[in-house]
Structure 1
Amino acid sequence: MWRMQAEALNFVGHASDRGMTGNLSGNAGLRLVFPAGEKQVRRALSTAAGAFAGMGLSDDAKGLAEIVLAEVLNNVVEHAYAAQRPGLIEIDAWLEGAYLWMKIQDDGVPMPDGVVPKRRDQDVTGAVETLPEGGFGWSIIHELSHDLTYERDGLRNTVTFSLDLEELEATP
């Protein structure tokens, strides 16, 4: 059974080049490398929550940061690695002023058209049984994040974004 480890990790190369390990360095930031999978994403989110608390994020900001990170990670598992054997996911998170920055990398298939999916407003006015089951993820990511970018470099996907911590504090 694989466990996330809190240890120093000197990382060079692509996700597929590395073993399954992680680095949690408290106030300095977060560095995780883990296998793509639903259970592993849940463990990564738990580890990230601890790191966000260690960085001094409030409970509200920490919760919203977890939501955005969960949406990105679930998309990697469900889409980037859907048609191939799962590989690894890398997360880097760090504070820069009043912003929490996150970079998520994988070696899965590229995003359609090579861009971040646009925000789609969903009609949620109908009866519960007619509501869509999914399709809210990228809308949530767009709504809560800033500086959202996607880059495909060779076989590597990189999604980077920031979260304005003061703005997250004010979110009702």
Structure 2
Amino acid sequence: MPPIPPDDGFTLRLTGCETEVRPVLRQVRDTLARHGLSRDRLGTAELVLAEALNNIAEHAYAGQVSGPVTLRASLRDGRLRIVLEDRGNPMPAGTPPPGILPDPHVPRSDLPEGGFGWFLIRDLTESAVYTRTGGENRLELDFGPVPDRNAGV
């Protein structure tokens, strides 16, 4: 595989609806794979993006017509960064949920069915920063340094 160019990136525009999530994930994965990301790194990025894009479709555009989402990915300074922007509803109280895992020592029937997404997003990224400005949500995901495949990492 050729090394990742020092300043490489791409932008995708989609509609914030559930039917577009899977095709966009495939496109992002294929594009990042062509730039030499490892299978592990691709899987991590895909999982985080699936959670974030599904949240946009389910919550940001809940109760309204699906709207635009912009996804910008960059491989810069040896780091993978992805920014998602949408014009949907803001996060409640202007901040993402805490992403805390529920107590596993309760009866299985008392465990929530969902609510693990923000834990995964935070756990699998180096940072996840949400801001709301001028009617637009912005989620910046930093996956940290991309290992050099030629260095035996």
TM-score range, shorter-chain basis?
Answer: 0.7 to 0.9
Correspondent of 1:116 among 74, 96, 106? 96
Q: 1:124 to 1:166 in 2, by over 3 A?
A: farther
Correspondent of 1:82 among 56, 59, 62? 62
Q: 1:166 to 1:127 in 2, by over 3 A?
A: farther
TM alignment of 1:141-152, pairs within 5 A? 141-152=121-132
Identical pairs, percent: 37
- AA aligned to 1:151 is T
Structure 1: state its 5+ residue gaps: 1-25
What secondary structure is seen at the aligned counterpart in 1 of 2:118? helix
Cα deviations across residues 78-132 of structure 1 (Å, max 9, x unaligned)? 1000021110111001112332101000000111111222121222344544432
Equivalent pair of 1:93/1:102 in contact (CA under 8 Å): yes
Equivalent pair of 1:118/1:139 in contact (CA under 8 Å): yes
Structure 2: state its 5+ residue gaps: none
Cα deviations across residues 26-55 of structure 1 (Å, max 9, x unaligned)? 962231101111120111001011011022
Tell me whether 1:91 sits opposite 2:64 in the alignment. no
Equivalent pair of 2:83/2:140 in contact (CA under 8 Å): yes
CA drift at 1:151: 1.3
TM-score in terms of structure 2 length? 0.84
CA distance in 2, matches of 1:64, 1:83: 30
Provide runs of 4+ in structure 1 moved above 3 Å. Answer: 125-130
Equivalent pair of 1:35/1:87 in contact (CA under 8 Å): yes
1:68 corresponds to:
48
- AA aligned to 1:36 is G
Correspondent of 2:28 among 48, 51, 59? 48
1:7 corresponds to:
none
CA drift at 1:165: 4.5
Equivalent pair of 2:37/2:146 in contact (CA under 8 Å): no
TM-score in terms of structure 1 length? 0.76
What secondary structure is seen at the aligned counterpart in 1 of 2:41? helix
Q: What is the Cα-based RMSD across aligned positions, in Å?
A: 2.1
CA distance in 1, matches of 2:105, 2:89: 34
2:143 corresponds to:
163
